[in-house]
A and B are shown apart, each in its own frame.
Chain A
């Protein structure tokens, strides 16, 4: 089976700071892959390179069978409809209601007719998926951190993406809400049968949601295994994370 995302020899640096060095990885359909690493290890840079929010220095990135560096802006926009992205800061549009936030991705990918017929139902279903139907006419500022995270997830889901990328999905949340978000990520994957790339340093989240973990240390793929196997590792650099 062809991987949904394949990264080959990816390099990215900011001046003299080499953030990613010859990084390789692949995610298969329906799989949840977690990238574990310290703050500043290049996790968020990696995920932003994959969605083409940042340019890479060298390397190959195949997303859903397409080399994203060879796509023009229209092709890239079409591809982005199939890739959901949950931002660390949620990135909800402050000046829009929750309904408008969720409808926003539809305006580019659905025709006016399609939006007229189906936008309302799509918004309601996405909100039901995250258990926040009652917030539809509220503003983001009226919601708690956990609720905002759920709404951001609903927005990432509205186009039914084949891959969802989570950038630190539980950062800044209390342990109970973090667990709720992790459970939500699992239920979403079950419903939409999507693959997921989870960037995190929250071990509980990674334990709950991932099938496989890549450890990113100093911009390189240091280790790759299941969460349980990595936890049992005697390698001091890996142990440091789990102690």
Chain B
């Protein structure tokens, strides 16, 4: 009986949270269309999102490209398909690795940052102070951050693809030799719009989800400093999970549309 009750409570909490996030998202769409946009803060947030994660995304993408090439090489050599390495690396990076890795890094860095920053502002009454001063805190804080992460994650993912391919070029040249021009020619030749467009579209969704969840957790933070910590942690966990779920959906949709 106790276990059933516990499961019911967990279920209730889960569905309540899903409902609240849906309400928060609906509020975002209601607010974003209202006039007087906070462009200055939006640009500021875009800079911070890019600035905070570019180095991390770059280093991770480079290592992923390098490792992927080095680890795939023996298998391809076995089948006499070593020349397909640039194509394989580019398709892997564009379709899956760069979007997902970038989104996970952003979930960790931006999601937790938003959760902690807005959470701290909530518990120190800074959000109330904004409201009292006549500024809509939802528009100023949430809308700008969500839009910034929606715009910046695809850009970061694209940068990640380029840097990851550089890592792949290095990986190919550790054991073999391929010219810079040939590597890029082969990498691009293997790609089609069916690879690029779905990848780009899903990163917009990843960025939006990271922004919404980070802001939702921070904006609704409670219980003082303990709550701020909880907001930051749960923002990362939930955003990372949602990234995987969205990726799964994106793969299914791409498959259904025959783009794979």
A contact residues vs B (CB 8 Å cutoff) = 48, 51, 53, 73, 77-78, 80-81, 83, 85, 87-89, 91-94, 104-105, 107-109, 155
Contact = CB atoms under 8 A, between A and B. Distances in A.
Contact of B126 (A77, A85, A93): A93
Q: Which of B121, B125, B133, B136 has the most CB of A within 10 A?
A: B133
B12 interface: no
B133 A108 contact: yes
Top 3 closest pairs, chain A to chain B, by CB: A91-B129, A105-B133, A108-B134
B1 interface: no
Given A48-B128, A94-B124, A155-B133, 5 more contacts: A51-B132, A83-B132, A105-B133, A108-B133, A108-B134
Contacts of A104: 130, 133, 135
Contact of A80 (B124, B126, B133): B133
A91 B126 CA distance: 5
Interface of B: 120-121, 124-126, 128-136
A80 B129 contact: no
Contact of B129 (A83, A87, A107, A108): A87
Contacts of B121: 93-94
Contacts of A77: 134
B134 A105 contact: yes
A29 B95 CA distance: 67
B128 A94 contact: no
Contacts of A89: 124-125
19 contacts: A53-B128, A53-B132, A77-B134, A78-B134, A85-B132, A88-B125, A92-B126, A92-B129, A93-B126, A93-B129, A94-B120, A94-B121, A105-B133, A105-B135, A107-B135, A108-B133, A108-B134, A109-B134, A155-B133
